[in-house]
Amino acid sequence: MRVSVERSSIDTLMFFGGTEQQTVDAPWGPWEVLPPAARTTVVAVQPASSRVCIGDQEGPEIVCIGADGSRTVIRWNAEPGVLAEEEIATWRDTTIELYRQKMSETDVLRVLAEVTIPEIRPPYTQITLDRAGNLWVQVGTAGLAGSQSVGHLVFDRNGVLLGNVALPPVEVLEIGDDYVLGLFRDDLEVEYLHVYEIAKPSADSARP
């Protein structure tokens, strides 16, 4: 739902599910476990605006809803991305550590063996609305060994593709007219705030 600043009106935008889970047989009975690359609903809100974009990661499609209730469906062509062995190994190690206090490692491994590993990752992960209303869609994967940049598709307010931008492997927090603010985590999971300049092509360079 979208609630006005003065809380005088409430607008139901749409209904969507939570994070994908799979039911496994734990020692105490049925238990919900997140599979690797679990699909989830992602939401982006434009700063100082009521414009919202929502995607469920089921396909290369995102719905953007304006302050007046108008809807723009953004779609693009996307080649299926294969889930890397490194991503599966990271998921396995993280899950073992998470459930180690609840059951023995043998039981954890047995539970993980019941999880169906997807072959394909979601077509996008994070989405961000900048201050101008452009939608940035992260189509690459940050955190893989050797990854120096992550691809982002940038769409204008009408859903027109403006281009593909490679950003450093950070969690994007905010995008302004000429900067990107992101959260960087090193190998020890120490967090740093990084600011990067956006160098846009001039009008002259864009002319044929």
Pick from 123, 106, 94: nearest CA to 33: 94
Q: How far apart are CA 179 and CA 199, in angstroms?
A: 9
* 3-state SS class at 103: coil
pLDDT of residue 100: 86
What pLDDT digit, counting tens, does each position of 21-62 carry?
A: 999 998 899 999 999 999 999 999 999 888 999 999 999 999
**pTM, entire model:** 0.84
Domain boundaries, given as residue ranges, for the chain: 16-206
Pick from 114, 102, 88: nearest CA to 36: 88
pLDDT of residue 4: 65
pLDDT of residue 73: 96
What pLDDT digit, counting tens, does each position of 58-97 carry?
A: 999 999 999 888 999 999 999 888 998 988 998 999 999 9
- The whole-number average pLDDT for the span 96-103 is 88
Pick from 145, 82, 110, 89: nearest CA to 25: 110
Most confidently modeled range among 60-64, 79-83, 164-168, 195-199: 60-64
Strand 42-45 to 52-55 pairing: antiparallel
pLDDT of residue 144: 57
pLDDT of residue 206: 47
Top-confidence residue, 122 or 8: 122
The alpha carbon of residue 39 and the mean position of all alpha carbons in its chain are separated, in whole angstroms, by 9
For residue 189, pLDDT beyond 90: no
pLDDT of residue 10: 72
Helix (H) or strand (E) holding 184: strand 179-185
Burial class of residue 23, CB neighbours in 10 A (0-12, 13-18, 19+): exposed
With cut-offs at 50, 70 and 90, classify the pLDDT of residue 199: confident
What pLDDT digit, counting tens, does each position of 123-159 carry?
A: 999 999 999 999 999 997 765 555 678 999 999 999 9
